[in-house]
Amino acid sequence: MKYLYKYPQAEFPYAKLVEENRRRDKHQPEFELLDTGVFDEDRYFDVFVEYAKADVEDMLIKITVTNRGPEAANLRVLPTTWFRNTWSWGNRARRPKLHKARPAPNRVIELNLAGPSQTQSDARWLHCEGSPDLIFTENETNARRLFGMENLTRFVKDGINDHVVHGAREAANPEHFGSKAAAHYKMSLESGETVVIRLRLADCDFKGKNAFGDFDKTFALRQREADEFYATVIPQDLSADAQNVMRQGFAGMLWSKQFYHYVVKDWLQGDPDNPRPPQERRNGRNHQWTHLYNADVISMPDKWEYPWYAAWDLAFHCIPLALVDADFAKETAHSDASRVVHAPQWADTRL
């Protein structure tokens, strides 16, 4: 899996985009990101993020950063790991924990599931090549900032941002443990310079071994296997450019897969440790579907519309997905049809 993010070196022009588009009427074109000038003179970083599996529970991660601008520029890169916060649903006894494992030769974050059933198989290790600073906090909502009430913990999820951006060292846990952590890489790149960051999330702590010894060899093998697979799916009589576009299209589909979890009863009641939901929610859309319990991986169209079911889009997703993952496409089509039959007001009824 691979994606590219173009990161401007100037402040991202959120305010400029909002203000200019608010000023324009329907007869004028939309004011786009490129129109702001933030990418002028190629003053941006190309940030490639790639994933490859060495084994079922062994994920190789490579971040490649290139300075496309005309002069040197500074950048902070923060690969981040966290436990999904399910303990705030009322079971704080099973809070998992991340902690700094050992210093040399690379930085390592150990991930442990909490509770009496904990075994060695519950542990994972994030190996971070080099010597980045490790920043720890809790994956807890900043209730003071959002709701004006006291936080349940001293360290909250946006503490990493406050630590790095605002220099608030007290926002991170000095004892190096929590439920959310980041490896803080600081770099300065000359014009045209490229820097590679390698990480490995595995079920092995590699004590006494180099976690990155076989990294490049395994990565190259997985890339070759992916090329061979797509050569059987993409028509070879297409031009090289058309083949690349088709492969990028498949990539977009696969990146859209995500865990979709929506329980209407819990949504109406709210989480025990957060303020009660607004009263209007009890009369809002789908409030009567208190039996509905969704917990599945689906191809997620229009993630910003969650938890709306876009049945029209989802059905069309199945067509290209069938070429690369027929079983997943069939499962998606079947579950999508069930939603349309049993919960029509959830679906886009254009079907």
What is the tens place of the pLDDT at every residue in 55-68?
A: 999 999 999 999 99
| Phi then psi dihedrals of residue 8, to 5 deg | -65, 150
Give the pLDDT confidence score for residue 215 in this predicted structure. 97
Q: What value does the mean pLDDT take over residues 203-213? A: 90
Note the pTM of the prediction, 2 decimals.
0.88
Higher pLDDT, 285 or 129: 129
What letters, b where the CB count within 10 A reaches 16 and e where it falls short, cover 128-142?
A: bbeebebbbbbbbbb
Q: pLDDT tens digits for 22-42? A: 999 999 999 999 999 999 999
- 118 has a pLDDT exceeding 60: no
- pLDDT-wise least confident of 76-90, 123-137, 302-316, 323-337: 302-316
Please, are residues 342 and 334 in contact by the beta-carbon 8 Å criterion?
Answer: no
For the record, the structure tokens of 186 come out as: 């600081």
Q: What value does the mean pLDDT take over residues 181-201? A: 97
For the record, the structure tokens of 192 come out as: 């045209």
3-state helix, strand, coil in the chain (%, to 5): 35, 25, 40
Give the pLDDT confidence score for residue 104 in this predicted structure. 65
Give the pLDDT confidence score for residue 262 in this predicted structure. 85
Read off the pLDDT band of 174 (50, 70, 90): very high
Q: What is the mean pLDDT of the chain?
A: 88
- 81 has a pLDDT exceeding 80: yes
Spatial separation of the C-alpha atoms in residues 157 and 135, rounded to whole Å: 11
| Max Cα distance, the chain (Å) | 66
| Phi then psi dihedrals of residue 193, to 5 deg | -75, 145
Read off the pLDDT band of 285 (50, 70, 90): confident
DSSP 190: -
Give the pLDDT confidence score for residue 296 in this predicted structure. 86
- 83 has a pLDDT exceeding 90: yes
Read off the pLDDT band of 217 (50, 70, 90): very high
Q: Of 81-95, 114-128, 176-190, 255-269, where does the model show the most confidence?
A: 176-190
Q: What value does the mean pLDDT take over residues 106-129? A: 78
Higher pLDDT, 279 or 41: 41
Q: Which residue's structure tokens are 């709210």? A: 270
Give the pLDDT confidence score for residue 54 in this predicted structure. 96
Please, are residues 108 and 88 in contact by the beta-carbon 8 Å criterion?
Answer: no
Spatial separation of the C-alpha atoms in residues 125 and 109, rounded to whole Å: 6
Read off the pLDDT band of 283 (50, 70, 90): confident
Give the pLDDT confidence score for residue 344 in this predicted structure. 38
Q: pLDDT tens digits for 134-167? A: 999 999 999 899 889 899 899 999 999 999 999 9
For the record, the structure tokens of 303 come out as: 């993630």
| Phi then psi dihedrals of residue 52, to 5 deg | -145, 140
Q: Which residue's structure tokens are 């009322």? A: 90
Read off the pLDDT band of 103 (50, 70, 90): low
How many Cβ atoms are within 10 Å of 44's Cβ, its own excluded?
A: 20
